[in-house]
Amino acid sequence: MATVISLKDIHRDFIVGNETVHALKGVSFDIMKGEFVTIMGTSGSGKSTMLNILGCLDTPTSGSYLLDGNSVGEMSRDERAVLRNRKIGFVFQNYNLLTKTTAVENVELPLMYNPSVSSVERRDRAVKALQDVGLGNRLDHMSNQMSGGQMQRVAIARALVNNPSVVLADEATGNLDTRTSFEIMVLFQKLHAEGRTIIFVTHNPELSRYSTRNIFLRDGRVMEDSFNSDVADAAAMLASLPIED
Amino acid sequence: MNFGNLLKISLRALGNNKFRSFLTMLGIIIGVASVITMLAIGQGSKRSIQQQISEMGSNMIMIQPGADTRGGVRQDASSMQTLKLEDYETIRKQVTSVVAVSPLVSSSGQLINGNNNSPSSLQGVGLDYLSIRQYQISEGDYFSEQDIRTAAKVCVVGKTVVENLFPDGNDPIGKIIRFNSIPFRITGVLKSKGYNAMGRDQDDIVLAPYTTVMKRILSVTYLQQIVCSAVSERRTEEAVEEITEVLRYTHKIKVDGEDNFTIRSQQELSSMMNSTTDLLTILLSCIAGISLLVGGIGIMNIMYVSVTERTKEIGLRMSVGARSRDILSQFLVEAVIISITGGVIGVLLGVFCAILINVVAQWPVFVQPWSVLLSFGVCTVTGIFFGWYPARKASSLNPIDAIRYE
Ligand SMILES: Nc1ncnc2c1ncn2[C@@H]1O[C@H](COP(=O)(O)OP(=O)(O)O)[C@@H](O)[C@H]1O
Ligand SMILES: [Mg+2]
C-alpha cells in the first residue's frame, strides 16, 4: 500500500514573548493510503498544530514531511498553496464557509483556484460532492440558512471536491450535538469505505472506535499508535440514539 | 487562476458588501464628477470669452493716448491729451491695412426723458464705429456725415436705454431726450448685442457724432481713443506697425523716443483673457484633483479596513489553495472595479452637473472629451495605486494566522 504521509521527527516551536512553546517535540509516523486515523489528546497536546502542518498551512520548525512523496519543507509558499489546492481537503471545527454564498459556490471555491478545471466541470463536481454528503437538495441554500450539521456537510463537500490525497478534519464534530456528530461520523465512515484517506482530530476518546487507527498525543509527543481491528459502525450507534425533536 | 474566475470572485466579494462598496465608490464618484464639472466650467467660460471677443471684432485695434501704462508708471494729465483729430485723419488717409477708423470720446452723465432718467455714458464716435464694433441699426437711421460736420445734437441708442427711457413702449425714433440737460434727437435704435464677456451690458449705450461730444459737451480738442479695424485678422499686426510708424512720424518722436500713445489689438486682449481663464481652469482642476485624491484615500481606507475585516475569508481562500498573487489580484481587481464603476458614474454625474449649472445658473459650460478621458484614467490609476497597499497586506498574511483570526 502506498504511503501518503510520512513524518520524521517533526518539531514545532512557537515564540511567545521571550518564551518558547514547544508544541511538537519530535513526532514521527507514516500514514498509508485508505487509512482512517483518529488523532486524540487533551486540549493543548498539539493536535491542531500537527494537523496544520499536515495540511501545509503551517511549516515545522524542524523535521521532514513527505506528502505523496513531495518534500513539503523545501517548497515555496506558492508551491504549498498549489499542493493544498490539489492534494488536501481541510475540514474546520467552525466550518469556515463564505457568508452570503450558496452551498454550491462554497464547494466550488477550491476549484476556482485551479485553472485546469472549466466552469462547467467545476459546477458538476461541486454538485456531485454535495450529493455525496447528502445535500443534493440544498445546492442553492445560503450558508447562513443552514444548520450546523448541514454547514459541516458543505465544508466536507468542499474538502472532497478536489479529490484530495487526504482529508484532514480538526474537531469536525466539536460544535455539533451528539446526534449530528454521529451523522457526520457516518459520513466519514462512508468516505473511508469509498477508499479515501482520512485524518480525524478529536479530543473525544469515544470517537476512536470508528476509525482504523488511533494516534494518541500528549504534550507534543506520540504516546500511543495502535490499529483498531474492531471498527464500530457509526450508523448502528446513530440508530440506537434516542430521537429528539 | 484565470481572469474570468478572478473577476467572478471579486464581483462576488463586492456584491456581498454592497453598501461598503458603494461608500468607497462615492469618494471616486465625487472626485471624478467634480473634475469634470470644474473643467467644464473653466473651458466653458474660456470658449464663451473667445466667442464674444471674436463677436466684438477680432481685427479691432484700439489706440489710446499716453505711453503704455502696463509697466505701472504714472503719467501726468498732459500725456493723456496726445491723440488729436489730425491723428484720426492721418490714419484714415495713410494707413492702408486699416479699413475702418473712428474717433472715440465719451462723457458720463444722466439721460432724461420726461420723468424717466438713467445714468449712462454718451459716446462720441464716427461713421465707421458701427462696423468696427459690429453694431447694427434695427430701427431708424445712423447719424450722417452732415450731422458730424455740423456737430448736430442727434444720437442712436441701445435697447437698454430705450427700455429705461421709454418704459411704456413708445416709439423712440424722432423723440428728444436730454443728456446733462442738452437735448438730443434719437435717429435710430441699435440691434441688441446682450452682455459681453466682462459682464457689461452692450445695449446700455448712446452714440452721438464725435464732434458734438467734443464741442458741445466736453469742450476738448483731443481724443480719448481711436478705434480701427484691420483689413483682416491676419493683418492686425501689420496694421499696428503701420499705425505706430505713421503716428511716431506725425508726433515727431525721435528714433530712440518712447511712443506717446498705446496701441492694443483685440488679439492681444484675447490672449490676455485666455491666460486668465487658463489660470481659472488650473485652479479649478487643482480643487477637483484634491477631491479625487481624497476619493483615492477613501478607497485605501476602506480596502484596508476590509482586509482586516475579511482576514478569515482570506485565510480560508489560502487554505483551499489561493496563492499570494491570487489574493493580491483579487483585492486589486476589487479596487479597480470600484474605481472604474465610480469613474463611469462620476463622469455621468459630472456631465449632468455641468448641464444643470448651465441651465440653472446660465454659466457657459463645455465638457471637453479629454477631461473625461483624463479623470477616467486618473481614477483607474488611483484605484490601483491606493488598492495596492491593502492588497499587498492581505496577500502577505500567513494562512494559519489568517484563518484563526477572530
Ligand atoms: N500560534 C501559536 N502561537 C503560540 N502558541 C501556540 C500557537 N498555536 C498553538 N500554540 C501552543 O501550542 C500548544 C498546542 O496547541 P494546539 O495544537 O492548538 O493544541 P490542541 O489542538 O491539541 O488543543 C498549546 O500549548 C498552544 O498554546
Ligand atoms: Mg485544537
Using CA of residue A126, residue A129, residue A135, residue A137, what is the dihedral sign? positive
Q: Which atom of ligand 1 is nearest to the CA of B401?
A: 1
What residue segments make up the domains of chain B, in order of their start?
A: 3-52+272-404, 83-259
pLDDT at residue A231 tops 80: yes
The average pLDDT across B55-73 equals 74
3-state DSSP assignment of residue B64: strand
What are B213-252's pLDDT values in tens digits?
999 999 998 999 999 998 887 788 889 899 999 889 888 8
- Write down the residue that cell numbers 441699426 correspond to: B137
State the average pLDDT for chain B.
Answer: 86
Per-residue model confidence (pLDDT) at position B1:
61
- Candidates A86, A32, A31, A77; CA nearest to A57 is A77
pLDDT at residue A219 tops 60: yes
State the average pLDDT for chain A.
Answer: 94
The average pLDDT across A193-217 equals 95
Domain membership flag for residue A167: yes
The average pLDDT across A24-51 equals 96
Domain membership flag for residue A245: no
What CATH number does the domain containing A235 carry?
Answer: 3.40.50.300
For B185, half-sphere exposure in the C-beta direction (CA atoms, 13 angstrom radius) is 11
pLDDT at residue B406 tops 90: no
The average pLDDT across B76-86 equals 79
Range of the domain at A192: 3-240
Per-residue model confidence (pLDDT) at position B74:
57
Residue B347 main-chain phi, psi, to 5 deg: -60, -45
CA dist., res. A56 & res. A79, Å (int): 10
A88: closest chain B residue by CA: B320
% of chain A residues with pLDDT over 70: 99
- Write down the residue that cell numbers 459556490 correspond to: A105
The count of structural domains within chain A is 1
% of chain A residues with pLDDT over 90: 93
pLDDT at residue B56 tops 70: no
CA dist., res. A101 & res. A96, Å (int): 12
pLDDT at residue B353 tops 90: yes
Domain membership flag for residue A230: yes
What are A94-134's pLDDT values in tens digits?
999 998 899 999 999 999 999 999 999 999 999 999 999 99
- Residues lying with their CB under 5 A of ligand 2, a single-atom ion: A 48
Pick the more confident residue, A183 or B21: A183
The partner residues of A67 in beta bridges, in order of sequence, read A5, A70
Interface subset of A 156-175, CB within 8 angstroms of B: 158, 162
Per-residue model confidence (pLDDT) at position B401:
87
Q: Which of A57, A77, A112 sits opposite B319 (nearest CB)?
A: A57
Per-residue model confidence (pLDDT) at position A33:
96
3-state DSSP assignment of residue B355: helix
Per-residue model confidence (pLDDT) at position B75:
60
Per-residue model confidence (pLDDT) at position B71:
55
Strands ordered across the beta sheet of A198-201: A88-91, A166-170, A198-201, A36-40, A213-218, A221-227
Q: How many CB atoms lie within 10 A of CB A141?
A: 16
CA dist., res. A104 & res. A138, Å (int): 9
What's the pTM value of the predicted model, to 2 decimals? 0.71
3-state DSSP assignment of residue B307: helix
What are B103-140's pLDDT values in tens digits?
999 998 899 988 888 888 899 999 999 988 888 999 99
Q: Which atom of ligand 1 is nearest to the CA of A49?
A: 17
What are A170-199's pLDDT values in tens digits?
999 999 999 999 999 999 999 999 999 999
The average pLDDT across B74-97 equals 82
pLDDT band with cut points at 50, 70 and 90 for residue B76: low
What are B263-275's pLDDT values in tens digits?
888 777 777 777 7
Give the closest-approach CA distance of B19 to chain A in angstroms: 14
Q: Which of A52, A84, A119 sits opposite B320 (nearest CB)?
A: A84
CA dist., res. B64 & res. B69, Å (int): 10
| Strand intervals (E) in B130-252 | 137-140, 154-157, 176-179, 182-190, 206-209, 225-230
CA dist., res. B57 & res. B50, Å (int): 11
Amino acid symbol at B215: K
Sequence-distant (6+) residues with CB within 8 A of A136 are: A127, A130
CA dist., res. A2 & res. A23, Å (int): 29
Q: How many CB atoms lie within 10 A of CB A159?
A: 27
What angle do helix axes B266-309 and B369-395 make, rounded to 10 degrees? 20
- Write down the residue that cell numbers 483551499 correspond to: B320
What are B294-338's pLDDT values in tens digits?
877 877 787 778 788 888 889 999 999 999 999 999 888 888 888
CA dist., res. A78 & res. A84, Å (int): 10
B321: closest chain A residue by CA: A85
